[in-house]
Amino acid sequence: MNADAQREAVYGAPPEMLEVRDDLTPMLSQYADLCAEHDDAVVLFQVGDFYEAFCGAAEAVARTCEVTLTQREDSTGTWPMAGIPIDNAAGYLERLLDAGYRVALAEQVEDAEEASGLVDRAVTQLITPGTVVDEELLDAGRATYLGAVARGGGDVESRDSDAEDDADTYGLAVVDVSTGECLVTGADRALALEELERLAPAELVVGPDCDLPDLSFDPMETPFEPGAFDADAARETLSAYAPRPDAVVESDAELRAVGAALAYAEYAQGDSTLEYVTRVTRFDPREFLQLDATAIRSLELFESRSARAGSTLFSVLDETACALGRRRLEAWLRRPLVDRDEIEARLDAVDALCDGALARADLREHLSSVYDLERLVARVSRERADARDLRSLKTTLDRVPKVREALAGTGSDLLADLRDSLDELEDVRDLVGDAIVSDPPQEITEGGVIADGFDAELDDIRGTAEAGREWVSNLEAREQERTGIDSLEVGYNQVHGYYIEVTNPNLDRVPDDYRRRQTLKNSERFYTPELKEREDEILRASDRADALEYDLFCEVRADVATESARIQAVADALADLDVLRTLADVAVANDYARPEFHAAGPTDEHGGIHIDGGRHPVVERAQDEFVPNPADLPRGSVALVTGPNMSGKSTYMRQVALGCVLAQVGSFVPAASARLPVLDRVFTRIGASDDIAGGQSTFMREMSELTEILHNATGDSLVLLDEVGRGTSTADGLAIARAATEFLHDEVGATTLFATHYHDLTDAADDREGVFNLHFTAARRDGEVTFLHSVADGPSSSSYGVEVAQLAGVPASVVARARDLVDETDPESANDTEGDGVAAANGEVAEAAEDGTLAAYVDGLENGHRESESPNRATATTATAEPTPELEAVAEALREADLADTTPLEALNLLSDLKGKLE
Ligand code: ADP
Ligand code: MG
């Protein structure tokens, strides 16, 4: 990538400086050293109020940030230079990050005025996509993770023992440097990768020997010392965060991953332990409903696939009152539960809040004035919080008793637990309340921060300064009286300090002890030894006060930092509460119903998904009228959904899945009622023609995704297949669709919804009890089609393709001619017209289809993985239609193919072989 090439000249010490290394001025020499030490980032070098970059880096900064490229000249040369103002650096830093750069801030670490000679500078912070902490660079509603992946020998039992996979385990850890959240998990490679996609860290450090495929998101991949992935080094790192490191993780790979993630986070934050990472949480992906990246995308949980911007499940649900809640809602949606008790506990809480309109409104009000406690605490621990941050902390803590009060009348165990865990933190609140003035300035070094009465010494010093000022303010009257000069004035200016001003006509009356300070046009300014003394006293006192205030502030901040864990626990509870009240608000506003789950224990065929009056939570909000539809899907059944384009198939399937996901999040669902199973995974695959975002080998991807489902789905999974098989010719597509349907039904037993334009597929319902047809209807009125959007039993009778063409504005004469052509064909094969160009695209197979041998074609396939079934069926059917040797060969090849165990590439090759045989 040329960005990398560009970076060559941008990172590290500038070569042109190295050529005159020994002659460089001390400052540039320091710059070159820091660049050499931090050669994985653009070093921004503080010079007064600016961050400067030189040479190649200057050019990159100038270009990226659109600032002027200037020059610095000295005896050794002329150096290109570009600077960004420190005061509003955030916007520029963001541009650099967006352009793919990493940034190291080399700040002045001693007071420029106190330094003798060169000011000491050090890299205090590394700014990268995964390690940003500046509020302005962060998205309030989303966690920004830095991730580490490591590979290790396996202690974790392999999930999929009958797959021919290796015993490799992968560890995955993420750290949110802005909040201190640290998660670690481990699994086999496939599952770990899925989890990685789900967490989608902004930046990734990859351990030795890890084999990562192309990811569906785009993290910055950061090279980091492989040593950090060493088990011993990792254990050492982790021990600063967990007293017994080995008790936190369950495998070597997990240990390596979390050790490396923390080590890198420490490195980025200036090589110190991150005090605010108070908990390292290990989870097992299997303890949650698994939604892989494809499912998250196609269900549009967080990102919309269509032009309707912002229409995602998250946007419909996001009635959160604070940033804590918003991030938590996202986390819950990404990881719905599978533990019945936990789900019911959330549902009970939502239920209770639905009933308590008053409590809900109160909670909303109080939570909306809650600051981002997690990030506040992290700033406090990092010693980056200012006095305003501490006041924000107090404002937030002041809300806690009110939140508790609001919860008093609500009956649910979870709400009661959350209420109990709301520590009012009176000590912290009082400390900040007593120490910090109520409206402190942004600067913490210039006084005005610490409240009166907090520290006796400070009060004393302030008293001295105050007395001095008082003395000065009375001086004017005293001197007027002493000298008899009524026009005498006492004043103050920055340069000369206090003075006594006497106009020229009165100069003869000036007493002996007046010393001249300054001569103006019409007057003279004087001071007296006593005034000078007082002035020094005042200055000394206020300098001392400022210094003492700063020390006191740091002490208070450090005291607060020691309570990080307690504060984080409160943040945690507030976040949960905000989500629960949000779910209740949404349920009430949109008329959702509480889902019921089938009783625990082994589920039989009576399990399954039963929804009355179900709606699509996002689509129903986007349009005036939405037609509710029921869903009755016995456990392990396959529903084939047919109907014209735009009739509502995709919407229907997704609303079923979204209902299940919402229920397992602990939310009510958009339906009149719902009885649901607890699912282990939801798979959704959208066929190529429906995949707007597609582009590269879509059919290939479709097939590899299908393979993944066939391998990984279980009887507890829900599978949505939307127009799968469309990326290839009709006959091939149909064959694959049919084979996949049968496999899902016979072998996997996953509850499946399959929207298809292959009307021939609907025959699959004839010979399998668990396969049934649903269709969407349209009404013809005066030759026009209106979609009813309502689901009915049985297969769709016609494709309505021509009418849809008419709706789309195809000229009337073309529509009329098409209608004639449809009428000429027999009604059975008219069904195929929705497929893409049968005859043209696939001449011989299509002909075969017409003379009835397609059935043979499919039957052969069917028997391919159902060898136990009577072989007579295939022969019986083929007997009626004299198979050619070519067809025989094709059927044989298909019979031998085990689709469940075929890679996409193999599938493509197979298809190409088959075509070859027919040609
Ligand atoms: P298909 O997958 O059958 O082509 P879609 O599910 O994409 O159709 O639906 C097409 C459009 O029809 C949707 O964008 C939506 O506006 C509308 N629609 C779908 N289902 C319903 C419904 N139940 N009630 C009202 N409008 C609906
Ligand atoms: Mg569709």
Residue nearest to atom 4 of ligand 1 (CA): 646
Neighbours of 67 (CB within 10 A): 18
Q: How confident is the model at residue 856 (pLDDT cuts 50, 70, 90)?
A: very low
> Which residue would you say has higher pLDDT here, 185 or 737?
185
pLDDT for the residue numbered 696: 47
**CATH code, residues 308-442+565-590:** 1.10.1420.10
The DSSP element (H or E) to which 80 belongs, if any, is strand 77-85
Size (the chain), residues = 919
pLDDT for the residue numbered 857: 34
Q: How confident is the model at residue 337 (pLDDT cuts 50, 70, 90)?
A: very high
Mean pLDDT value of segment 363-379:
92
Pocket test for ligand 1, best of 300, 304, 646 (most atoms within 8 A of CB): 646
**CATH code, residues 456-551:** 1.10.1420.10
Query: Please, what is the Cα angle at 184 between 182 and 188, to 5 degrees?
Result: 160
Instruction: Give the ligand whose atoms come closest to the C-alpha of residue 684.
Output: 2
Mean pLDDT value of segment 420-445:
93
Mean pLDDT value of segment 257-286:
86
pLDDT for the residue numbered 771: 92
Mean pLDDT value of segment 791-801:
74
Instruction: Give the ligand whose atoms come closest to the C-alpha of residue 654.
Output: 1
> Which residues fall in the annotated binding site for ATP?
643-650
Residue nearest to atom 5 of ligand 1 (CA): 648
Instruction: Give the ligand whose atoms come closest to the C-alpha of residue 723.
Output: 2
pLDDT at 867 over 50: no
Give the ligand 1 atom nearest the CA of 623: 16
Neighbours of 161 (CB within 10 A): 9
Q: How confident is the model at residue 848 (pLDDT cuts 50, 70, 90)?
A: very low
pLDDT at 320 over 80: yes
| Four-point Cα dihedral 337, 342, 345, 346, nearest 10 | -20
Pick the CATH number of 3-127 from 3.20.20.70, 3.40.50.12780, 3.40.50.1360, 3.40.1170.10: 3.40.1170.10
Q: What is the reported pTM?
A: 0.77
Burial of 836 (0-12, 13-18, 19+ CB in 10 A): middle
If you search the block for the tokens 């992906």, which residue do you land on? 285
Pick the CATH number of 139-155+166-285 from 3.40.50.1110, 3.30.420.110, 2.40.340.10, 3.40.50.1980: 3.30.420.110
Averaged confidence pLDDT in the chain: 83
Residue nearest to atom 25 of ligand 1 (CA): 626
Distance CA 597, CA 752 (A): 19
Mean pLDDT value of segment 96-124:
85
**Can you state the angle between helices 323-334 and 649-665, rounded to 10 degrees?**
110
Domain segments of the chain as ranges: 3-127, 139-155+166-285, 308-442+565-590, 456-551, 607-810, 893-917
pLDDT at 676 over 90: yes
Distance 835 CA to ligand 2 centre (A): 14
For the ranges 5-14, 560-569, 749-758, 796-805, the lowest mean pLDDT is seen at 796-805
Distance 654 CA to ligand 1 centre (A): 11
Distance 647 CA to ligand 1 centre (A): 6
| Long-range CB contact pairs, 741-744, < 8 A, 24+ | 741/638, 741/640, 741/771, 742/768, 742/862, 742/865, 742/866, 743/710, 743/865, 743/899, 743/900, 744/638, 744/709, 744/710, 744/713, 744/719
Q: Do residues 500 and 475 make contact, with C-beta atoms less than 8 angstroms apart?
A: yes
Distance 650 CA to ligand 1 centre (A): 7
pLDDT for the residue numbered 688: 53
Mean pLDDT value of segment 483-511:
90
Mean pLDDT value of segment 608-614:
95
Instruction: Give the ligand whose atoms come closest to the C-alpha of residue 647.
Output: 1
Distance 655 CA to ligand 2 centre (A): 13
Residue nearest to atom 17 of ligand 1 (CA): 648
Q: How confident is the model at residue 847 (pLDDT cuts 50, 70, 90)?
A: very low
Q: How confident is the model at residue 866 (pLDDT cuts 50, 70, 90)?
A: very low
Mean pLDDT value of segment 471-500:
90
Q: Which residues lie with the beta carbon below 6 Å from any ligand 1 atom? A: 619, 623, 626-627, 629, 643, 645-651, 789
Q: Cβ neighbours of residue 793 under 8 Å, at least 6 residues apart? A: 772, 773, 774, 775
Query: Please, what is the Cα angle at 335 between 363 and 298, to 5 degrees?
Result: 110
pLDDT at 160 over 50: no
Give the ligand 1 atom nearest the CA of 653: 6
Distance 647 CA to ligand 2 centre (A): 8
Distance CA 241, CA 238 (A): 5
- For the chain, percent of residues with pLDDT exceeding 90: 46
pLDDT for the residue numbered 474: 92
Distance 787 CA to ligand 1 centre (A): 9
φ and ψ of 70, to 5 deg: -115, -165
Distance 801 CA to ligand 2 centre (A): 14
Residue nearest to atom 19 of ligand 1 (CA): 648
Residue nearest to atom 23 of ligand 1 (CA): 627
**For the chain, how long is the longest CA-to-CA vector?**
136
pLDDT at 203 over 70: yes
Distance 610 CA to ligand 1 centre (A): 21
Q: How confident is the model at residue 777 (pLDDT cuts 50, 70, 90)?
A: confident
Give the ligand 1 atom nearest the CA of 790: 23
pLDDT at 272 over 50: yes
* Structural tokens at position 289: 């409903």
pLDDT at 831 over 70: no
pLDDT for the residue numbered 133: 75
From 248, 106, 330, select the one nearest 261 (Cα to Cα).
Answer: 248
Q: Do residues 622 and 308 make contact, with C-beta atoms less than 8 angstroms apart?
A: yes
In one-letter notation, the amino acid at residue 104 is A
pLDDT for the residue numbered 859: 38
Neighbours of 681 (CB within 10 A): 22
Q: How confident is the model at residue 646 (pLDDT cuts 50, 70, 90)?
A: confident
pLDDT for the residue numbered 781: 65
Q: How confident is the model at residue 883 (pLDDT cuts 50, 70, 90)?
A: low
Pocket test for ligand 1, best of 621, 789, 804, 807 (most atoms within 8 A of CB): 789
Distance 616 CA to ligand 1 centre (A): 10
Give the ligand 1 atom nearest the CA of 647: 3
Distance 659 CA to ligand 1 centre (A): 17
Mean pLDDT value of segment 48-65:
91
Q: How confident is the model at residue 603 (pLDDT cuts 50, 70, 90)?
A: low
Residue nearest to atom 18 of ligand 1 (CA): 648
Distance CA 638, CA 644 (A): 20
pLDDT for the residue numbered 584: 97
> Which residues fall in the annotated binding site?
643-650
Give the ligand 1 atom nearest the CA of 616: 23
Q: How many CA atoms does the CB half-sphere of 91 hold within 13 Å? A: 7
Q: Cβ neighbours of residue 528 under 8 Å, at least 6 residues apart? A: 500, 513, 514, 515
The torsion region of residue 48 among left (phi > 0), alpha (psi -120 to 50) and beta comes to left
Give the ligand 1 atom nearest the CA of 645: 4
Distance 239 CA to ligand 1 centre (A): 54
Q: Beta strand 638-642 with 771-781: parallel, antiparallel or unpaired?
A: parallel
Give the ligand 1 atom nearest the CA of 615: 23
Provide the terminal-to-terminal Cα distance of the chain, rounded to the nearest Å.
43
Q: Do residues 651 and 659 make contact, with C-beta atoms less than 8 angstroms apart?
A: no
pLDDT at 839 over 70: no
Instruction: Give the ligand whose atoms come closest to the C-alpha of residue 613.
Output: 1
Helix (H, G, I), strand (E, B) or coil at 173: strand
Which range is most confident: 160-174, 199-213, 387-401? Answer: 387-401
* Structural tokens at position 18: 């190295």
For the ranges 131-140, 219-228, 230-239, the lowest mean pLDDT is seen at 131-140
> Which residue would you say has higher pLDDT here, 420 or 705?
420
Instruction: Give the ligand whose atoms come closest to the C-alpha of residue 641.
Output: 1
pLDDT for the residue numbered 310: 61
Give the ligand 1 atom nearest the CA of 628: 23
Distance 628 CA to ligand 1 centre (A): 11
Question: What CATH fold (topology level) applies to the domain 607-810?
Answer: Rossmann fold (3.40.50)
Residue nearest to atom 26 of ligand 1 (CA): 626
pLDDT for the residue numbered 795: 84
Distance CA 119, CA 36 (A): 19
pLDDT at 386 over 70: yes
pLDDT for the residue numbered 815: 77
Which range is most confident: 144-148, 203-207, 539-543, 659-663? Answer: 659-663
pLDDT for the residue numbered 113: 75
Distance CA 642, CA 653 (A): 11
For the ranges 308-312, 509-513, 848-852, the lowest mean pLDDT is seen at 848-852
Q: Do residues 699 and 728 make contact, with C-beta atoms less than 8 angstroms apart?
A: yes
pLDDT at 840 over 70: no
pLDDT for the residue numbered 834: 38
- For the chain, percent of residues with pLDDT exceeding 70: 85
Residue nearest to atom 20 of ligand 1 (CA): 648
Sheet of 203-206, strand order? 220-222, 203-206, 146-152, 169-176, 181-187, 280-282
pLDDT at 159 over 50: no
Instruction: Give the ligand whose atoms come closest to the C-alpha of residue 776.
Output: 1
Distance CA 273, CA 259 (A): 12
Same fold yes or no, 3-127 and 456-551:
no
Pocket test for ligand 1, best of 305, 308, 651, 754 (most atoms within 8 A of CB): 651
